[in-house]
Amino acid sequence: MIAVIDYGMGNLRSVEKAFQYLGFDVCVTDRKQDLQDASHIVLPGVGAVADALASLSRRGLTGEIIRQAESGKPFLGICLGMQLLFKKSYENGEYEALGLVSGEVKPFRSNGMRVPHMGWNSLKITDNPLFKNGGEEQYVYFVHSYHADGVPEENVIARTEYGYEFVSAVQKDNLFGLQFHPEKSGETGLAMLKNFGGLVL
């Protein structure tokens, strides 16, 4: 079973429906037991880091998410969910995030480009199981004003150009993070979700 974490933020139903379309058993939940029972976990999200951290804390999920992420089962952060994986965020202040992946979340630098970065853009990918069967040119849908910075090179699995090159996907052992929305990225995104759902680590 794939557990999609419900903490009151994000397009949960779109993620749920994408996995259901692909034939996976999936549930949207904020119950610790469901996270413990799941074979795969997805942390989605749309919104601000501070609000997300507060919501996770109110629901008593912060510690359980860290335990499950460290358990070795496949774990995927999407958009805000990816940003929460890092050590720190500078979104409207300075916040300690989940600290599961080295790096910080910072605003786009002034580059003459419109922020938020919204719309379709291409990925410069590495050889990674998440990207198999997606083709050489993989275009995906972004909506974000902040991005990861200072990520160790061994954890970077994709970059994207938007005024300058930024990290758009990461992996650290069983943890994966996608800054874009695979559930809104057509067949390319569905291929990534199918690859994630089929991971056996």
Q: What distance in Å separates the CA atoms of residue 101 and residue 64, rounded to the nearest whole number? A: 16
By annotation, the residues acting in catalysis are: 79, 181, 183
Asked if residues 193 and 131 have their Cβ atoms less than 8 Å apart, the reply is no
Asked if residues 153 and 107 have their Cβ atoms less than 8 Å apart, the reply is no
Q: Is 60 left (phi over 0), alpha (psi -120 to 50) or beta?
A: left
Q: What distance in Å separates the CA atoms of residue 59 and residue 51, rounded to the nearest whole number? A: 12
Token pair 């929305």: residue: 181
